[in-house]
Structure formats: structure tokens, C-alpha cells
Amino acid sequence: MSENTQSWSASATPTRIPVGGTAGTAAYDVLVGHQLLGELPGLIDGPAAAGGERGRVAVVHPEALAGTGEAIREDLAEQGYQAIAVQVPNAEEAKTAEVAAYCWKALGQSGFTRSDVIIGVGGGATTDLAGFVAATWLRGVRWIAVPTTLLGMVDAAVGGKTGINTAEGKNLVGSFHPPAGVLCDLTALESLPVHDYVSGLAEVIKAGFIADPAILGLIEADPQAARTPQGPHTAELVERAIRVKAEVVSSDLKESGLREILNYGHTLAHAIEKNERYTWRHGAAVSVGMAFAAELGRLAGRLDDATADRHRAVLESVGLPLTYRGDQWPRLLETMKVDKKSRGDRLRFIVLDGLARPAVLESPDPAVLLAAYGEVSA
């Protein structure tokens, strides 16, 4: 994304969306609004701050946001924190064991203790990495997510899933480690390239199909307006998508049941991303994955034609892709067999039994799988 070093002062009262606090999970807030970084000190200090003494903070940021990361570090240093900036590669290139080790080294050299805080500033890959580093340093330190992309705001930064990729697949190494808070500054979206913003819409649309159809209605009413952060419903779409995820993860932090529905479209999507060596945008892959899941649900006799067709219409209306290379099915199938939802050699997919009625389809007939993929093959 392009550099963005707008004013960091706090604005009008942001929307606060609570996450956790049930099923033994710690509660935190997702703040949605404009110019929110003035909220950082309160999150950094937390309830355990003693005597006003301010400790160490590591600002993990991608190369593309070097200016933003340094601006945040300088601002925190002026407020009395021992702040360092840790620059990592852009996008999925950051989510490797080597980059995580580099971050651990920076923390060690800075004398990071369990009372110190990591801040992840950037897209979903950066917050995934920052959260994973926080989860593994000293067996867990506090961290704060500051997502700067639509995808990061509505998906990656909410819910406590952290992780890195391996040669065998995406997010196969990770930990559930919820943040102390999430700041979704909508001003940051204004600098996103249109393709990155539209990619994030895939996760917003997913939330509409699995839980909140009002999202679909807002997009269908004006698809072109939905494609830009200047659209009249941007804040509402972001907040609705976050509330869907917040409700699910509050009930099921560690994906033991309900949380699986958030993976709608992701089984094929992750296989596509791996096949493309993570050069595809996540949202583009999820879009193809949802089109596939809709066809799979239809062919399995689970989903009505109108709702299946609605997937294609909504995704296409905002410019998201619907197809992938037909000759890659054998490779994609092998990758899906090591998906996190699989059990032994049994493939499991999230499908819909109707609008906002997600369910599991286990061990589908291989012929049905192939037929469904045929519907999204280029």
C-alpha cells in the first residue's frame, strides 16, 4: 500500500465492538473510526500499568509502511515509552519462520519482558506475524493490532488467530493469542489501491452470506460505491463484518466448532494461494473459493439455486474473480487434504444450507467435488 502518515490524534468517539469475555476468553475491544492512534497509550499501559512507568514497545511494520511505523515509534518515544521499530517484508513474505526469528532477535536485543507490548501495524500478514511473535516470545506477551487494510480490519486482526506459513501450506504454524485491542482507523483505507480494497470486500461478502444478509443488500444497492472507501456505507460494512466475526470468536476462540464457519470459501482459497506461491491476493482466492463452495452446496443438494447464483452476482458486481485454472485440480485437491479442517483423510468443507445457514459437508463424493470445480474453472 502507499505510504500514509496522517495525523495520529484521536478523533470523535469511535465505535467499540467487544470481543471475547465468554467461554473463558479475555475480553478486548475493536475500535472503528478515524484517527485512532491516540488510543494507543491506554491500550499499551492496560490495567496492569504500575506507578505510571512506561515500558518497551515494538512497532512491527512492513517495508511499505516504513514512514508510518517510524512516526508511531517517534510518537510513543515522546510519550515516554522505550519504543523500537521492527521492519519486516511486505505481505505474505513476512509470514515465515526466518522473519519471526528476526523479530525474536530484535526483542531479545531490546530486553523485552512479559510486561512489554508488541504493536502490529499493516495488513493481515503483518498482524498475523506480530501476533505470532507475541504469542511465542516468553510464552506470550501482550500485543495490539493496527490493521491498515480492509482485509486486515474485518478478518485477520480480529479473533486472536496468529501464524506463519510453511512450504506445505498457509497458517499451518500458529497460535490462538488474542490482542489487547484492535484499532481500525478508516482513514488508512483511503490510501489503499483499488485492487487491495476490493480484495478485502471478499471477507465482507463472506460475512454477509454466512450470517448478516444486510451486508449483501448494501453492496447490491450500489456495487460501485462499495468498491471505494469513500462510499456511503463503508463504516457500516466494516462494522457489520467485524460484528459477525466478533460474535463467532467470542463463543469459540479455538475453532472447536462454530468458528469453522468463518472458513467459508477458504479451503479452496488457501490451496490456490499456495499454488500461486502467495502472489494472489487473499480476497481474490476467497472469492473463487466462495463461488466453488456455493456450487458444491448446490450439487450436494444443500443450497438453493437462487442463493448459489447470488454468490456469482455479488462477487462479480464488485470486480472479484470467479474462476481459476482448470488444469490445477489434482494439485489443489492434494493441498486441501492438509487443510486445518480436514480430519485424517476426510475432507471437510463449509457450505450453506441456505442464506446465513452455514454447515459442514464432510467427505463429499469426489465426482461432486470435481463437478463443482468445473463450474469455477477458467
Residue 276 is labelled as binding a ligand: no
Residue 225 is labelled as binding a ligand: no
Residue 245 is labelled as binding a ligand: no
Residue 126 is labelled as binding a ligand: yes
Mean pLDDT of 83-111: 95
How does pLDDT run across 147-185, given as a tens digit for each residue?
999 999 998 778 888 999 888 878 889 998 999 999 999
Residue 337 is labelled as binding a ligand: no
Residue 170 is labelled as binding a ligand: yes
Which stretches of 77-150 are assigned E, i.e. beta strand? 82-88, 117-122, 142-147
Stated pTM of the model: 0.89
Residue 13 is labelled as binding a ligand: no
How does pLDDT run across 10-25, given as a tens digit for each residue?
446 899 999 986 656 6
Residue 282 is labelled as binding a ligand: yes
Mean pLDDT of 121-134: 95
Domain ranges, ordered by start, for the chain: 15-191, 194-228+230-374
Contact, 143 vs 119, CB < 8 A?
yes
Domains 15-191 and 194-228+230-374 share a fold: no
Mean pLDDT of 221-226: 96
Residue 34 is labelled as binding a ligand: no
Residue 95 is labelled as binding a ligand: no
Residue 335 is labelled as binding a ligand: no
User: CA 197, CA 145: separation in Å to the nearest integer?
Assistant: 19
Sign of torsion, CA 108 113 117 120?
positive
User: CA 197, CA 329: separation in Å to the nearest integer?
Assistant: 28
- Which CATH code for domain 15-191? 3.40.50.1970
Residue 255 is labelled as binding a ligand: no
CATH fold, domain 194-228+230-374, is: Dehydroquinate synthase-like, alpha domain (1.20.1090)
Q: Which three cell numbers stand for residue 295?
A: 456450487
Alpha-carbon distances of 163 from 126, 133, 166, 280, 322, rounded to whole Å: 10, 9, 10, 19, 27
